[in-house]
């Protein structure tokens, strides 16, 4: 019979590995050793410089997977922290450290819940873990590559829980059943440099850039979608490098991002960018180009038995039903949904990525109880 796992102590052990993307710093070893001790068959799946892990307990169906990431964002101003960001100190019942909320605590809580379920003989199918070290970075050699490999092998995952910090104000008030898509675009306009007093000898790149940005921003993308808020376009950079007041520069560029609901696909939006670039370039003696990157499509786990099971498990522990939400940014759930229905359940996310990222010890233990309840209901 596997030994019980203390979720808080395991979280502290993980935090002490400074796994700032793409560094692993031994964090994946901690996860692997923990799961091996529970009887999981563990596979390290390295892509590029990224450490990934897929572990499975049992061979029967159904297979309930937990997905998460060991990598964390940089500390920032280390001197601004009240405690060392990687010391994992507990003060007044609160665990302080990078990854305490996002999301080493969730990995530890699910491992502890899995240990309980295995010891109690509840796992009549399979439990699995899909853990990456490339969620906070560019996310090219992490979950997306593991999912592709598992699909190619015919590995079946029936449902997945992702441990991102989903609670908004109080623990358990929100779980995520979908996410908006995200597309980034960089616009580069190449004109002709010249003297401001002789504009006929130059081609000012600002003009087509302004035309294009105006057209993009003037379009109302949509009024929302069932379970989703309206899509929004945000310009994140405009620049025309120039150190003089009497020079028309040769180049202007801008960047933008759209968070979109299922009214759109990334490809449709990228095609729209290309069309507006063509329109803006009409009559311009230079070049207007757009480079788009689709970082994820919008998706929704439809309401049904799985969403009801998870919501009821949260209610069993907290006493209140969570909001089923699609708000916020993106997560690796956007890749896992190619395998199976996916729901995100985690801690309150207010301090993630901040100085003094922290999680109350009791919340970590409550998260473990929620995961335990999910496992019990899933196989029950």
Name the residue with tokens 């395998």: 339
H/E run at residue 8: helix 7-15
Residue 135 is a catalytic residue: yes
Please give the pLDDT value at position 330: 86
Are residues 102 and 167 in contact, defined by beta-carbon separation less than 8 angstroms?
no
Catalytic-role residue among 134, 135, 164, 276:
135
Residue 361 has pLDDT above 80, yes or no: yes
Q: Residue 187 forms beta bridges with which residues?
A: 254, 290
Residue 153 has pLDDT above 90, yes or no: yes
Percent of the chain residues topping a pLDDT of 70: 100
Rg of the Cα atoms in the chain: 24
Across 113-117, 136-140, 168-172, 363-367, least confident range: 136-140
Local confidence band at 271 (pLDDT 50, 70, 90 cut-offs): very high
d(CA 85, CA 133): 18
Please give the pLDDT value at position 125: 98
What string of DSSP letters covers 180-217? -EEEEEEEEEE-B-EETT-GGG-B-THHHHHHHHHHHH
Which domains occur in the chain, in start order?
7-179+298-379 (3.40.630.10), 181-296 (3.30.70.360)
HSE-up (13 A, CA, CB side) for residue 130: 30
Catalytic-role residue among 24, 32, 71, 141:
71
For 183, counting Cβ atoms within 10 Å of its Cβ (0-12 exposed, 13-18 middle, 19+ buried), the class is buried
Residues 315-323: what's their mean pLDDT?
98
- Ramachandran angles phi, psi of 209, nearest 5°: -65, -45
Residue 2 has pLDDT above 80, yes or no: no
Indicate the length of the chain as a whole number. 380
Residues 70-94: what's their mean pLDDT?
97
Residue 1 has pLDDT above 70, yes or no: no
Centroid of chain to Cα 335: 10
Summarised one tens digit per residue, pLDDT across range 277-303 is: 999 999 999 999 999 999 999 999 999
Give a three-class secondary structure readout of 88-156: CEEECCEEECCCCCCCHHHHHHHHHHHHHHHHCCCCCCEEEEEEECCCCCCCCCCHHHHHHHHHHHCCC
Local confidence band at 3 (pLDDT 50, 70, 90 cut-offs): confident
Q: 3-class DSSP state for residue 253?
A: strand
Residue 9 is a catalytic residue: no
Residues 310-330: what's their mean pLDDT?
95
Residues 333-342: what's their mean pLDDT?
96
Q: Which of these, 362, 352, 375, 321, lies nearest to 73 by C-alpha position? A: 352
H/E run at residue 52: strand 52-57
d(CA 120, CA 150): 29
Please give the pLDDT value at position 287: 97
Summarised one tens digit per residue, pLDDT across range 203-245 is: 999 999 999 999 999 999 999 999 999 999 999 999 999 999 9
| Residue 95 neighbours by CB distance under 10 Å | 25
Task: Tell me what the pLDDT averaged over the chain comes to.
Answer: 97
């Amino acid at each position: 019979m596997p030994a019980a796992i203390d979720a808080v102590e395991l979280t502290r052990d993980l935090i002490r590995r400074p796994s700032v993307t793409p560094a692993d710093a031994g964090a994946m070893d901690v996860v692997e050793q923990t799961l091996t001790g529970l009887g999981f068959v563990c596979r390290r799946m390295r892509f590029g410089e990224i450490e990934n892990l897929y572990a499975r307990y049992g061979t029967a169906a159904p297979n309930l997977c937990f997905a998460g990431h060991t990598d964390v964002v940089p500390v920032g101003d280390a001197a601004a922290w009240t405690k060392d960001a990687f010391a994992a100190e507990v003060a007044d019942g609160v665990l302080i450290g990078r990854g305490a909320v996002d999301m080493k605590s969730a990995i530890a809580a699910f491992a502890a819940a899995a240990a309980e379920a295995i010891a109690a003989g509840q796992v009549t199918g399979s439990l699995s873990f899909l853990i990456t070290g490339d969620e906070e970075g560019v996310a090219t050699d992490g979950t997306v590559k593991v999912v592709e490999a598992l699909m190619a092998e015919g590995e079946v995952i029936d449902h997945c829980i992702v441990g991102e910090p989903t609670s908004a104000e109080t623990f358990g008030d929100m779980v995520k059943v979908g996410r908006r898509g995200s597309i980034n675009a960089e616009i580069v306009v190449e004109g002709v440099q010249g003297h401001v007093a002789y504009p006929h000898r130059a081609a000012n790149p600002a003009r087509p850039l302004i035309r294009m940005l105006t057209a993009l921003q003037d379009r109302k993308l949509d009024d929302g979608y069932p379970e989703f808020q309206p899509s929004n376009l945000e310009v994140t950079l405009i620049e025309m490098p120039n150190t003089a007041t009497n020079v028309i520069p040769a180049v202007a560029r801008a960047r933008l991002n759209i968070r979109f609901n299922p009214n759109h696909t990334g490809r449709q939006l990228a095609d729209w960018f290309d069309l507006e670039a063509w329109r803006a370039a009409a009559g311009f003696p230079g070049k207007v180009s757009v480079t788009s990157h689709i970082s994820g499509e919008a998706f929704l786990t439809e309401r049904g038995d799985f969403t009801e099971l998870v919501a009821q498990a949260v209610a069993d522990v907290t006493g209140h039903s969570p909001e089923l939400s699609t708000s916020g940014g993106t997560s690796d759930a956007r890749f896992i949904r190619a395998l199976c229905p996916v729901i995100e359940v985690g801690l309150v996310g207010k301090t993630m990525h901040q100085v003094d990222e922290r999680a109350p010890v009791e919340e970590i233990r409550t998260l473990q109880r929620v995961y335990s309840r999910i496992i019990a209901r899933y196989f029950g």
